[in-house]
Amino acid sequence: MKMKTKKVWKVTSNLITVILFLLLIFMTFVVVSSKASGGEPSFLGYQLKTVLSGSMEPTFKTGSIIAVKPISDTTNLKEKDIVTFMEQDQKIVTHRIIKVIKQGDQVLYQTKGDNNEDADVNPIMSQNVVAKYTGFTIPLLGYLIDFAKSSKGMAALLITPGVLLLFYSVITILKALKELDKPKKESEKTA
């Protein structure tokens, strides 16, 4: 029975160590990637955007992270595509194309948030489209990413997993030392 408990403890201990280490690596990636890109992190050519409003619900909820793929040819998008574009006030928005408007060489897109009653006021020019939604969403992770962008968040997300890993290592070392002392104490009792 005691041997089984030790084995369970060892597996659990290794699992917790791996999880904390992976968490530390992930948080470091998020913080460094956010700072390097000047905003949203990117991964394998995809940009991760935080959903800040409910205009696209239920497709994706406020606080979610969505993956978008930057596109070079923005003139051949079609209705129902979900695109990320730059508005005139330099604000980034992700909405669905509801109409493609061709005026000579110029292509414009009428967009609308799925949860909005009305279409966006101004059609967007194709050159203002920066990316296309890939269909990948992680709910609620956007709140963590936004927190990671702040100086307090960056410090907390880098330091907390490291401190937890250090604290857990101390506990593991103390437990190992206790196990090493057991045979010594048992031999003193028999002598």
Domain ranges for the chain: 1-38+143-171, 42-139
- Element spanning 43, H or E: strand 42-43
Bridge-based pairing of strands 82-86 and 42-43 is unpaired
- Select from 111, 116, 117, 150 the least CA-distant residue to 133: 111
Per-residue confidence (pLDDT) for residue 173, from 0 to 100: 84
Catalytic-labelled residue, pool 13, 42, 53, 169? 53
In which band, very low, low, confident or very high, does the pLDDT at 38 lie, cut at 50, 70 and 90?
Answer: low
Cis peptide before 58 (omega within 30 of 0): yes
pLDDT in tens, 134-180: 988 888 877 776 777 677 877 776 777 778 778 878 888 888 788 77
Quote the radius of gyration of the chain (alpha carbons, Å): 26
Model pTM score: 0.62
Share of the chain above pLDDT 70, in %: 80
The answer to whether 53 is a known catalytic residue is yes
CA–CA separation, 80 and 112 (whole Å): 10
| CATH no., domain 42-139 | 2.10.109.10
